[in-house]
Structure 1
């Protein structure tokens, strides 16, 4: 379940129970959010083909009989071009400093790129174990093979991995291959991550899958639909603010603002006769109804806030601040 106003009881951990925080780091569009959703078994992080889809640090919680793994999904590390980008990258770096294990996620369907090498350089002196996760195995011709886990210093049999195992400090990393989209290799990944954790308590009630409230997830589901149906400059210039949620036994009313930087972007989002906004709202409402398992009434308002990504005041209003570890 998603965190709500009801406080669940955190039980004492049994003997031998393991727990800890696992930071998922990687360049944009390698599948971090898809992996998060696959691991916790529920959609808590939005996904889209648009780079830098993830903006907020989101924690996904997987609790088994023997361990509680708290996954920290971070924004893709990239070269920032505005204040929002600088905040996102700073938050990603700060999040990794406070975890017990780092999962460095790469696109295993292609060779390593400059972004991967940049992150590898940044991880040269880690204080915690680093696992190199080669995602998108489903996009390889050999994806039918069972993924292998390679300990530090081993030579991979899969030729595409050579560019990744030659990254700086990769000799000290364990390589694991999987597909976050299909779930191939998830059991092996979970086992490997659990082995890297120490014995510890429950950090969250066992029935929670994220530390974020439903209101936050609702806003992200709206933004996901905008990312999926708009193109070019619009997705990066959009923010969503859920202003009011009113729940009754029959239906939940949600009122949200969509923030853009230019009037032309507002026109694109509304569309001819309001058809684009209707399409966004309909798809977002369906996703929200799955989230809460109930009926949703959704009303969207598009507002223009020039250069909001460069304004510290606007960013703070929308919840984009440097997060504490």
Structure 2
């Protein structure tokens, strides 16, 4: 934390939670609001597992964003229960909530998020995402009005996280609702997550993007080595899967797939850490880890 006790009057600082069902575009929205990628994205639901904090400081304003995992109706595995706890906790102690929904789609999972938000005391902004894909824009206004009546929200705003549509307006709505306070982080800090955490997330993103539906959610990444020597940063990552068949899929024919994952991850890491990277990847079978609370804690899935 920075020592900003002598911050001038008028400085604004507050927490904003981005919530919504899985795969609605929360991580993409966070990355575009920050102007920098800190949260991993893929077309696959449940990509985000932790509530990632992104920090944006401009002049007198500091917004601390919390990108939450999507809320799940099905809590059969320990990891799903963990993600629901992470999302629910993030909503409790924030100054503003952005509830992200997808165009005209409203399903039971959106309903479940709305039910959670009915207990929230802070202002809620409903952001209707992917409006760039709506062909008949005239149908949008009645839909926004219907949502505004259905939910107790302060504002309804159409956005496109991917195309950067209306994000400046969304940000100004957030700033209007921030409390006065000293900045909690230095102005150049963009996340509270460790470099190890970010490295693990990059590897996980590349696996998820490469394998799509071939590999279920029973996959985790653990960083075993993170060592800077001169201009070279050596990162060794252990990829855990549940079954031998998953290990074979991940490694691929003659190791081609794991090699591609490693190459893509290394390029992202070099950008993020501004260093030459030596990346080592191993795959290990650890049966039942995603439904074992103790195993999840050892992998860093701690309650917030």
TM-score, normalised to structure 1, is 0.88
Q: Distance in 2 between matches of 1:255 and 1:9?
A: 35
TM-score of the two chains, using structure 2 as the length reference: 0.94
Shift of 1:142: 5.9
Question: Which of 15, 21, 29 matches 2:15?
Answer: 21
Q: Work out whether 1:256 is the aligned partner of 2:246.
A: no
Please name the residue that 1:100 is paired with: 95
Q: How many residues align?
A: 303
- Point out where structure 1 has 5 or more consecutive residues left out of the alignment: 1-6, 146-155
Structure 1: distance between partners of 2:292 and 2:214: 18
Once residues 208 and 216 of structure 2 are traced to their aligned partners in structure 1, the CA distance between those partners, rounded to angstroms, is 5
Distance 2:125 2:90 in 1: 16
2:174 corresponds to? 193
Change (3 A) 1:159 1:111: farther
Q: Distance in 1 between matches of 2:180 and 2:267?
A: 40
CA contact (8 A) 2:2 2:183 kept: no
Query: Quick one: distance in 2 between partners of 1:36 and 1:70?
Result: 11
Partner secondary structure for residue 93 of structure 2? coil
More helix by share: 2
Structure 1 contact 59–210 (Cα < 8 Å) conserved = yes
Partner of 2:115: 121
1:72 aligned onto 2:53: no
Q: CA deviation at 1:54?
A: 0.4
Deviates more, 1:285-294 or 1:132-141: 132-141
Query: Which stretch shifts more, 300-309 or 174-183?
Result: 174-183
Report the alpha carbon displacement of residue 274 of structure 1 after superposing the two structures with TM. 0.4
In structure 2, distance between residues paired with 1:246 and 1:130:
43
Q: 1:272 to 1:157 in 2, by over 3 A?
A: closer
CA shift digits 1:209-245 (9 cap, x unpaired): 1111211111100000000011335141110001111
* Counterpart among 185, 202, 214 of residue 195 in structure 2: 214
In the TM superposition, what are the counterparts of 1:1-325 in structure 2 within 5 Å?
Answer: 10=4, 12-79=6-73, 80-108=75-103, 110-141=104-135, 158-167=141-150, 169-170=151-152, 172-232=153-213, 234-323=215-304
Say whether the 8 Å CA contact 2:19–2:99 is kept in structure 1: yes
What CA RMSD, in Å, does the superposition of the two structures yield over aligned residues? 1.9
Distance 1:11 1:297, change over 3 A: farther
Question: What CA distance in whole angstroms lies between the structure 2 residues aligned with 1:44 and 1:317?
Answer: 23
* 4+ residue runs over 6 A deviation: none
